[in-house]
Structure 1
Amino acid sequence: MLMKIALFAGLATILEDILAHAQGPASTDNYLNKCMLLLPEYSKKTPSPEPGLECSTFVGNSCCKKGVTLPFMTEHNWQNITDFPHCPQKATLEPQCHMQFFEELCFFLCSPDIGPWIVLASPDLKVITHRFKNIPICASVCEQWYNACQDEYTCTDNWYIGFNTSSGINRCHDVSQCFKYPEHFTNSQSFCENIWDNSFKVVPDDEPCMHFSYDATSGNNPNRAVAEARARVLSTSSSIYLDNSQILIVAFAILVSQLMNV
């Protein structure tokens, strides 16, 4: 049932995106204040305050609802979809690595500033409809994440496509390939860019780049300016023009593709 809800909700969102771009140039508003469709019960269409959210950075403006990260904080597992300590050598993450993944997970699920990088997820990812791609993250953020996880184990260098997910949760195809992260990721850039299939692009700190967390109570959101700059670039690029028949054809093709993978 959850999969079907996600499927049709995702189709509606996709159609809305197509229609928004079909009749003329997109404005920056088409890319800002936009959320990914992930788990229907925890996703929002547009960001809004979320009191009690476990991701403190995004309490004041969030794309997710309270409880979205559970039970990651206690079980190191996200929604029985992603098991982070998936190799037999360790049952839990080291505290410092756990915290880095928590901040990255909060950013992925809740950030209100990822709109310009949202794309459609692969049909193989049946639970989610959207993902983001090539979001610029600061090199120092990447380095801190990588350094915190040196003693963790994995069996693949791509967590989007490198697992057996037939049971609904990520499992290693071959546990004999379980090695510490540095053996799969030779440096921090390799780790940050490859682990989630190019969701992130590492850039120098003196270039526009994102932070996973920041002190939101100060009223300073360093990620907003990065998103606004990217939205301006996208709004001046070529737009998609479709007539009604083309829109229906695209919608039908998407629906058939999704149904074949349910």
Structure 2
Amino acid sequence: MLSLWIFVIFTLSTMVVSDDGNRLSTFTSPEEIMNACMLGISHKTSPGPESELFDKCKPWKKRSCCTESIAKDIHVNKTWYKMDWDHCGKLSDKCRARFVQDLCFYECSPNVGPWLVKVDNMKIRKERFVNVPLCRNECDAWWEDCVDDLTCIENWARHFDWSSGIPQCPSNTQCRTFREVFKNSTNFCEKVWDHSWQVVEDTDPDGCFAMWWMEGAENPNYEIAYRKAQRLISSADSIVLCSSWNCFYLLFVCICSVFSYVWYL
């Protein structure tokens, strides 16, 4: 019996906070989070400057997670990871331009570290970002430029039929306008890429992201992401401290129990 209690005490004294494999749990400072590019086949290991980035990827030139060649490929390739934006007929030029901006953000943005989560069984990436706060005015502008274009499903990340090796509309769907499929701008921005974005009001006290800005201007998303990274680190420190006190408390109880048991004998 005594040996069992000793084992329990030893186990409790060496307890650590476990994680689910999410890389965020390994970072110890906001700077580490801010210098993490997504783990994907087209992303650099860490953000840095590029001498030039093509067209709509230019805003990230000073600090980018994509290379110049990737930025160019985004604009000239008709598909990306076999994803075909024209699955219900050719997108209008203004709608396609918005999706190119979105793809530039996905491949080039160095500010999504606080929203990265681990994904499994993906050939193109080991992480994705979830619920990045997108300003409502950005979402509404994207929506207005695509509202009359055609698609067959809400969730482009999950609901295509990939049985042929390329994404196709499922047999039980038909091509309809974005307005008919998504109903409103919030549903569109949040659902089209499986909640990569979360639409927030432009006046949100925590701030919100711009999907694109003029080349040469400062990245408006950096400070928002940095404040989020600071909150994550502070929260993680609090959890560790709380867990440590819980361990000490349990250890104290076990020690008292052992002494009581020995005294009783």
Q: Match of 2:68, SS?
A: coil
1:145 to 139, 142, 146: 142
Matched, 1:83 2:84: yes
CA apart distance, 1:66? 1.9
Q: In the alignment, what sits opposite 2:43?
A: 43
Q: Distance in 2 between matches of 1:53 and 1:202?
A: 27
Q: Match of 1:67, SS?
A: helix
CA apart distance, 1:101? 0.7
Matched, 1:213 2:212: yes
Change (3 A) 1:178 1:71: farther
Whether the 8 Å CA contact 2:24–2:116 is kept in 1: the answer is no
CA apart distance, 1:201? 0.5
Whether the 8 Å CA contact 1:69–1:105 is kept in 2: the answer is no
Q: Match of 2:65, SS?
A: strand
Q: Residue by residue, what CA displacement relative to the aligned partner does 1:225-247 show, whole Å, maximum 9, x if unpaired?
A: 11011101100113688xxxxxx
Amino acid in the other structure paired with 2:225: A
Whether the 8 Å CA contact 1:117–1:135 is kept in 2: the answer is yes
The structure richer in helix per residue is 2
Change (3 A) 1:19 1:195: closer
Matches within 5 A, 1:153-172: 153-172=150-169
Whether the 8 Å CA contact 1:76–1:98 is kept in 2: the answer is no
Q: Residue by residue, what CA displacement relative to the aligned partner does 1:96-132 show, whole Å, maximum 9, x if unpaired?
A: 1111111111001100111111111242x33221110
Q: Match of 2:235, SS?
A: coil
Change (3 A) 1:166 1:128: farther
Amino acid in the other structure paired with 1:50: E
Q: Residue by residue, what CA displacement relative to the aligned partner does 1:205-239 show, whole Å, maximum 9, x if unpaired?
A: 11200011112413x22101110111011001136
Q: Distance in 2 between matches of 1:236 and 1:27?
A: 9
TM-score between both structures, scaled by the size of structure 1: 0.75
Q: Distance in 2 between matches of 1:19 and 1:31?
A: 10
Q: Distance in 2 between matches of 1:173 and 1:70?
A: 31
Q: In the alignment, what sits opposite 1:232?
A: 230
Matches within 5 A, 1:29-40: 29-39=31-41
Q: Distance in 1 between matches of 2:60 and 2:40?
A: 17
Equivalent pairs counted in the alignment come to 216
Q: Distance in 1 between matches of 2:180 and 2:161?
A: 20
Change (3 A) 1:44 1:168: farther
Whether the 8 Å CA contact 1:155–1:174 is kept in 2: the answer is no
- Runs of 5+ unmatched residues, structure 1: 1-13, 242-262
1:58 to 54, 57, 60: 60
Q: Greater Rg, structure 1 or structure 2?
A: 2
Q: Distance in 1 between matches of 2:140 and 2:25?
A: 40
Percentage of matched positions with identical amino acids: 35
Q: Distance in 1 between matches of 2:115 and 2:22?
A: 17
Superposed CA RMSD in Å reads 2.3
Q: Match of 2:46, SS?
A: strand
Deviates more, 1:66-75 or 1:95-104: 66-75
CA apart distance, 1:165? 2.5
Whether the 8 Å CA contact 2:65–2:107 is kept in 1: the answer is yes
Whether the 8 Å CA contact 2:23–2:118 is kept in 1: the answer is no
Q: Distance in 1 between matches of 2:157 and 2:75?
A: 21
TM-score between both structures, scaled by the size of structure 2: 0.74
